[in-house]
Structure 1
């Protein structure tokens, strides 16, 4: 499981420099080069990217989708050496592995997808293919933290009605959402045995892309794969 940062690529401002997102306005050639260099650095020849739509649809994959990926926010595989990537710039990349069953998964979990249950859906898809949640390891990657992710009070209450753990306040005592706490609770309820964190806040960390901080910007990614 690896999390990229914004350094070491070829994209120009405001995507400087390792933008891995193909739908945020960057030069497609630069994105392709950034993806190729990143994959090579991880020793991967093939990586599956999704067309992320803030939903809860997940799919088992055995090869990359090519130039027209379907709308998905979660993928899993049992193919060794096939990388799975979740692109983010304030949403959470959530990576799962169950080596005994030979399965790995990746999800893009922002506010809408978290409420819709994309992470439990991914755990369920993997469990349906023989994985035991108790043997799973999860990594919840960097995201907008619970003291930075400011939202209207009505939206906080709406989310908290489904996920009470998401209720939060900013350092200025304004309404906020803590998606890390919500996703952690979802994984716990799904029976995932080990939950780890990269606790960096994207808004506060200049080495990571943040849409809330910068507006037009690139995407970093969480990668997971099974060793061949």
Structure 2
């Protein structure tokens, strides 16, 4: 069910699912009832309770939505990043870069243990160029988060992501670290490198980087199969 999972601080977990968990997206022509069942199974496996994870309607932009810690999960906001002071969050991808963020803010009474602040971001080509990841970091800091760390999930790598030369120029003008040449010697984009550069510029420590979705048959990849499903990056606190 998971390609990677770890307890990243006491009671706080980050994970990335794989194809064995099934498609988790409602927008790819799958049976909605089956998708919801898989989401429920995922929530049960993670132990996050009946409300499950908050998902979003992803549109390749840079809008950030805040999910209240005690909110229900019935409505998916249209955004490409979610932040919350405690709600379990999910981001879906199949070649785009899933970014999971965890920070801490001081307890409201100033005396208790720091409280976690979570973020997830969907950083495809348009979102990376538009700065969706720095926007998520800024929103977390507005919630009081410090010491933010990042986990970059599996995505298509620069060796495999071929694009027209003019598109490489356009994206690299916004995020220079994305400029690359593929294994075939053609123009390419390295979105994970671009996201990493944005996180480092924002003072965020990158803890983990996943592999290439196109090269790994255990992960969904849109470039391998346009009718594929979506896997998820997740962050949650143990109940």
What TM-score results when the alignment is normalised by the length of structure 2? 0.86
**SS of equivalent to 1:224:** strand
C-alpha deviation, 1:20, in angstroms? 0.4
Which is strand-richer, 1 or 2? Answer: 2
Tell me which stretches of 4 or more aligned residues in structure 1 moved more than 6 Å: none
Structure 1, unpaired ranges of 5+: 9-17
**Number of the residue aligned with 1:13:** none
Q: Does 1:118 find its partner at 2:150? A: no
Structure 2, unpaired ranges of 5+: 1-13, 105-113
C-alpha deviation, 1:197, in angstroms? 2.6
Distance in 2 (alpha carbons) for counterparts of 1:110 and 1:26: 22
C-alpha deviation, 1:101, in angstroms? 4.6
Equivalent of 1:128 in 142, 145, 148? 142
C-alpha deviation, 1:136, in angstroms? 1.1
Q: Does 1:147 find its partner at 2:159? A: yes
C-alpha deviation, 1:59, in angstroms? 1.6
**Number of the residue aligned with 1:105:** 119
**SS of equivalent to 2:233:** strand
Residues matched between the structures, number: 213
Q: Does 1:191 find its partner at 2:198? A: no
- 1:29-48 Cα shifts (integer Å, max 9, x gaps): 11011111111100012210
- 1:59-115 Cα shifts (integer Å, max 9, x gaps): 21022452x522101111113xx3100000000110000133520111111000011
Contact 1:103/1:226 (<8 A) preserved: no
**Number of the residue aligned with 1:52:** 58
C-alpha deviation, 1:226, in angstroms? 2.8
**SS of equivalent to 2:237:** coil
Relative to structure 1, is the Cα distance of residues 44 and 146 closer, same or farther in structure 2, using a 3 angstrom cutoff?
A: same
Greater Cα offset, 113-122 or 98-107:
98-107
**Number of the residue aligned with 1:83:** 88
What TM-score results when the alignment is normalised by the length of structure 1? 0.90
Relative to structure 1, is the Cα distance of residues 55 and 64 closer, same or farther in structure 2, using a 3 angstrom cutoff?
A: farther
RMSD, aligned α-carbons? 1.2
